[in-house]
Structures are given as structure tokens and as C-alpha cells.
Amino acid sequence: MGGPRMIGQTVTNFFGQPEALKAYPNNVSDIVQNGFNRQNTIGISGGNDKTTYRVSFNNTKETYVLRANELNKNVISLNLNSEVTDKLSVSSYLSLNNTSSIRSQQGNQLANPFFRALFTPRSYDLTGTPYYGATGAQLYYGGEDNPYWSLDNVRYNDEVNRFIGNVGARYKFNSWLNADFKLGADIQSFRAHGFDEIGSRGGGNTSANGTGGILDARNNLRNINSYLTLNAQKQFGKFNVSGTLGNEIFDNFSNSLSARSTGLAIRGFDQISNATVLNTPGVGTSQIRTVGVFADVVVDYKRWLSLNVKARNDFASTLAPGNQSIFYPAAALSASMTDAIPTLKNKVLNSWKLRANYGVVGRAAPAYNTDNYASLGGAADGFGPNISYPFNGLSGYTISNAAGNVKLKPEFTTEWEIGTDISLFDNRVTIQANYYVRKLTDGLFGVPVSPAAGVTSLFQNAGEIETKGTELTLGLVPVKSRNFTWSINANYTQFRSMVTKLAPGVSVITLAGFTTPNIRLVEGEEYGAIFGNAYQRDAQGRMILQTTGTNAGLPLPTSGVVKLGNSNPRYTIGITNTFTYKMFTLDVLFDIREGGDLYSRNLADLRRNGAVIETAELARFDKDNVTPLRNYQFTGVDATGAAVNIPIRADQYWGNAGKYVAAEGFMVNTSWFRVREMNLTMKMPKSLIDKTPFGNIEFGVFGRNLFLKARDYPHLDPEQNALGSSNIGGLEFNANPATRTMGFNLRLTF
């Protein structure tokens, strides 16, 4: 980002050739295409008074905004229900699912084509410059993979075949007692194949360091569950009583095999026999089983008072004998005040309900955390070369750094909640309000321990977290006429989770991240706290700046880490407006988020590479286009407290020794306002449908992610998480940008 203004002057490029220095503003847009998603579903249902069936088929084809990315999915489903006799009925469900995909690389690595295209200098003709040499090797100015070359030569594809099915039977003993049994299975097979061409500079699929590699992986899962209940319902005067006794069994088994082979001999030959280095394959097997018994009783009094009491006891194989029993009860009480006291109803108040709930949920530890296990050994001093086993034909094993704990107990989440439901003005105004307190006790976490113990972490019951939250839902119908209705549904959510206790001797539990930044649990701090190194500051909070050397005027990082923020928002609001006019319905969903912090690697890399407009807001060079200007300046003091007024260059300010010298510089606020979704649907009137062979005709157009305003996060969507769908947020490492979707749908019913 430190180059001169591009005014067509002749320069020597990376390949030693003269060229005119000019901007290529379409570097990113040229590599992007319009993706599409096509879904077709057909369903057939029928039967008679004793037997019903439904058969459906769904086909989905989706492409991404980068070429060489495609998903195909086919699903066949069958539902069957039959009354064999007056007392016995049977049911079955079957779903066959085949999903295959072709994908380019993602995430924080040098073979990610989107990632590299975003950061390509605007002076480099990414689209027009050849990216293949005479031998097939890539041509690119930097130490990364050319995005176009990566799309061709760093490939990945996978396929999932999945079977989901169950059979069930219900037997009626009499008018108030029946038994229900279901036996189900979820069986999956997964296959993946990755190919890295010789000369790939990024990590790719195999981290082959340019030698080329092939990855093959196979996973198989088999989940079987049974569900047996004895159900009763009987009236006793003004009381209606229903109850269930049940048993549930889960048995989950999986195995996996992955082989990574590197050192390809022949360019372009995508076969494992082409590899010269066959690494030790990774093999894994896991099986867990949970057996549960439960009871559920509901007592209703005159339809205005209801009490629900339930209890469950699970026995989990992932805990050691003596700790395998997990008992957790729950109770709920609700009262319809307007039914209990009819005189409360009037032209304003239509209904009023009060609710109170209390419940406990238990969870066992993940598999294989109650014992210590061996792993392949290795030796390293931090500088290399490293020794890994097998070595010279000999295998070596060591105890895994993650130690098991035979004393593990279940973790429990206890929650109580109070709420009310109110309906006003002929149901034109509805209000739902809830307040809850949720407490996690005996939380299961991997806790760091001194390496002197021979391990680096111990899995144990180590934490308590308390969450207090409020949920409000407001429904309004501002306008309602014969042909037009406008309704609003708004929800407000606010919560705060605090780490109230850690196990004795435990000061920090790191949930995710690196030395800096990371997400950790610290007693007295909020859950989701982001820690990292910061700018050095004096006692008054003023930034301490350097005063001598090449980094004069630049900040200094702290040697340790401090709290930089928290990933949780202060509150979120969702507002859905629905407008209905005759046969047309328009739904618009607004999404508002206030607060929440994020460590953004993507935004930092865009700025460090000078690829976004804010890095060019101030002139970088004087009128001669040679002399760098010092138009930037950090505000701070020196070590003595004296003010520092040292101007710096743009590349210094936005560089690794400037704004991004510490994790603090990567932090952004994720507040946003967005139009998340908009749908316009037209239902054909009955007078027209009657002239067709169809029972119903609906046509619609829709859009998603139509508008976004994030005041502290320009250019990109802050709704990113390096940890995927985990509830641990706050880290973003070169995630692919979000996409906007627009489309139409047609629904025909016979």
C-alpha cells in the first residue's frame, strides 16, 4: 500500500517486464460470478380411511459466486400410516439423501482464492495476466497461490449418502390408555477427496509445502434410537390428567479413516499412486450409548390452570461407573387469568395468561474423557527439524497431552422462568414477556495444567456460568380492512452471561483461539470475553508511543494479554412487517443488533494491503509522486508522559507495526441494521384456480441479505465466526464474504 499514484508511468513488474502503472479496479468483481440455487420438489399423497401415504422427491442444485463450486442434493422421502385394527396402528418413515459438492479452499490460508483475490493490489492485472507457465507451474507476483490457478489446481470434493428411517406402532388398550413404540436409525457414509497440484504455495488440502498432495477421507456413522412410551389421559371431575412413562435408548457409532499423501511425481496426475510420501493414516472409532427413563404428568383444572411435572434419568456410557446416572426434573405452571376470572375480559383486555417454569437439564461428558490414551510420539525444540514417528521404521507412543478424568460428573443447567401473555383490543395488540435465570453448574471443560505433570490439560467439572435474560414479543395490527392488513411482529432479546465460579486452582479456561487473541473463561467476567495483547498505555489510559528509530510515532504492544471486549450483543431486535392486499402478501424482516465485539482478520488484511478506500483517504505522496507524505499520526505520549507529535506514513499507520501491532487494533463493534429477508407472494384467486387442474397456485419472489449497515465494520458482513456454528464467537479469520440472494418460487397443489 506504499506505492505512488498510478498515472500510467512505466515501471518494471514482478516478472521483470516493463508495464504502465495503472489501476485494475475489477480485480475482485472479475473473479466473482452470479451463483444460483434451484430447488424442485414434487410430492404425492393419498390413501383411504385406514391407510395414508406421502411420497416426495427434492432436487437441489446450487453454485457459488466462485466457479468450480457446486452442490447437488437429491432426497426421496416416504411416509406411511395405517390403522391395522381398531386398536393397532403402524407407521413408517424413510428418507434417502445423496449430497455431493465441489469446493475451493476456505479460511485463513494462502490457497483460498477469494481471500487472495480480495488482497491483490489494484495495480496487478489479475484477470489479464497469464497465471500458467510453460510447465504448468503458476505465475503470480507474491508468495501465495494465484486465485485462478488455485481454482483449477487446489481441488476438493465430497459426497454424503444418508439414510434416515423409523418404524412405529401404537396400541390402544382402552379409551384412556395406549402404548407407543418407535425404532429409528440414522446411517451416514461420507467420502472426501482433495488434490493439491505441485507448486501450490498455500496449505491447501494436505499442507504439502509445494510438493503436491492427495487427501482421502472416509467417515461412517450409525445412530440407532428407540422410544417407548405408555400414555394415559383421563378426566376426574373438573380435573383432566394426562401422563407418560417412557424409555429412550441412543446408540451412536462412528469410524473414520483419512490418508494424506504428498510429494507427487507427475503434475496433474490425481491418484494416490502418484505420491512418493505416504503418511501414517489417521483412524478413529467412537461409540457412545445413553439409556433414559422418564415420566411426564399434566394436570389441567377447568382449562384455566395447568401444572406439568416431569422427570428424566439418563445413564451415560461416557462417564465412569458410579457417575453415569443423570437425573433432572422440571415443572411448569400456567394460569389463564381471564378464564379464571371472566369479569376481567372487556373491550380492551381479551386474554391474560401467567406462566412460571423451572427445569434442570443434565449433560454427560463427550466420549473418551475419563481415561488417558496413547498417541504417536514426536520431538521438537521449536526451531526444527522435528522428529515424528514412525521414525526409521520404529513406532513411538506417548500419553496424550489431554488427560482424562475418572471423577467426571455430569454438568447441569438449571433454569427458572416467569412470563405473561396478554392480548388487547380484539387481538390487535399481543404481548409476550419472559424473564429467565439460567445457571450452569459443574461445567465440563478442558483445563490447562502445568506441563511438569506430563500433560497440558485436564478435562474436569470446572466452571459455573449464570445467565440472566429478557425476551419480549410484541404483535400489532395497525391497519385491518376488508382488502388490506398490516401486521407487525417484533421481538427483543437481551441477556448477560457471567462466569461466577471456576474450580479451585483454575484461573483461566481458554475456549478457543491462540496466544493472542483468544476466548476465555475468567471468574467475574462475561462469557465470551475476548483477550489479546493491547497497546501500551500509561496510568491515564494514554497510548505510549515510540520516539526514536524507524518506528518513531508508532505504538507498542503489551507483552501479556488483557480483556479487549465481549462477543455477546447488548440486545437484538427483529421486526417483521406483513402487508396483505387481496391476493398479495409482502413480508419484510428487519434485524437489529446493538453491541458485541469481534476480532476481524479480514478487515485488517484488507487495510494492511491497501485494498479498501479508507487507506487512500489521505494523499500518500507529494506532488512529485516520489516523496512519501506523513499525513497520519497516533495520539499519545512517551514513557515520561510528554506528548508525542510525530507524523507517519500511511503504510506505517495501517501496517503491522502501527494499528495492527496488537490485537486491540483488530477489534471492531458488530452493531448492525439489516434487511434480512423480503418475500412477496401471490395466491391465485379461487375463481381462476377453478379453471385449472390445480387445487392451489402460489407464486413468489424473495430476497435475502438485501441491505446491511454496520457502522464499525465496512465492506464486509460482521456475522462471521471462525468457529462455525459454535456458541463461542468473537473471532473471524478470513471468512468468505456473505452473499445476497434473490429468487422466485412457484407452488402448485393438485
Instruction: Say which range, 8-17, 32-41, 195-204, 662-671, has the weakest mean pLDDT.
Output: 8-17
> What DSSP state is assigned to residue 281?
P
123 or 554, which is more confident:
554
Q: Quickly state the pLDDT bin for 396 (edges 50, 70, 90).
A: confident
pLDDT tens-digit series, residues 20-46: 999 898 888 899 999 999 999 999 999
pLDDT tens-digit series, residues 464-512: 999 999 999 999 999 999 999 999 999 999 999 999 999 998 999 999 9
pLDDT value of position 473: 98
pLDDT tens-digit series, residues 519-538: 999 999 999 999 999 999 99
Instruction: Give the closest residue to 599 by CA, choosing from 643, 556, 564, 631.
Output: 564
Instruction: Say which range, 53-67, 448-462, 557-571, has the weakest mean pLDDT.
Output: 448-462
Mean pLDDT of 289-294: 98
Amino acid at 106: Q
pLDDT, averaged across the chain: 93
pLDDT at 693 over 60: yes
Note if the bond before 451 is cis, omega within 30 degrees.
no
Amino acid at 279: N
Instruction: Say which range, 342-346, 404-408, 694-698, has the weakest mean pLDDT.
Output: 694-698
pLDDT at 580 over 60: yes
pLDDT tens-digit series, residues 658-673: 999 999 999 999 999 9
For residues 296-329, b (16+ Cβ closer than 10 Å) or e, as one string?
bbbebeeebbbebebebebebbbbbeebbebebe
Q: Quickly state the pLDDT bin for 107 (edges 50, 70, 90).
A: confident
Mean pLDDT of 361-365: 96
Q: Are 574 and 491 within 8 A, CB to CB?
A: yes
pLDDT value of position 2: 65
Question: What would the 3-class secondary structure string for 473-540 be?
Answer: EEEEEEEECCCEEEEEEEEEEEEEEEEEEECCCCCCEEEEECCCCEEEECCCCECCEEEECCECECCC
Mean pLDDT of 601-614: 91
Mean pLDDT of 298-305: 95
- Residue 412's alpha-carbon distances to 110, 227, 319, 365, 447, in angstroms, are 42, 23, 14, 11, 18
383 or 317, which is more confident:
317
pLDDT at 352 over 80: yes
DSSP state letters, 424-492: ETTTTEEEEEEEEEEEEEEEEEEEE--GGGT-SEEEEEEEEEEEEEEEEEEEEEEEE-SSEEEEEEEEE
pLDDT at 383 over 60: no
pLDDT at 371 over 70: yes
DSSP state letters, 91-135: EEEEEEEEEEEEE---SSSTT-HHHHHHHS-TTS-TTTS--B-TT
Instruction: Give the closest residue to 154 by CA, choosing from 109, 216, 215, 196.
Output: 196
- Residue 377's alpha-carbon distances to 85, 316, 593, 658, in angstroms, are 64, 31, 47, 41
Mean pLDDT of 680-707: 88
**Nearby residues of 269 by Cβ (< 8 Å), 6 or more positions away:** none
Q: Quickly state the pLDDT bin for 736 (edges 50, 70, 90).
A: confident
Q: Quickly state the pLDDT bin for 398 (edges 50, 70, 90).
A: confident
pLDDT value of position 662: 97
pLDDT at 382 over 60: no
pLDDT value of position 97: 97
pLDDT value of position 692: 81
Q: Which three cell numbers mark 717?
A: 458482513
**What is the distance between the alpha carbons of residues 525 and 379, in angstroms, rounded to a whole number?**
37
Record the pTM. 0.90
pLDDT value of position 465: 97
**What is the distance between the alpha carbons of residues 516 and 605, in angstroms, rounded to a whole number?**
17
Q: Quickly state the pLDDT bin for 168 (edges 50, 70, 90).
A: very high
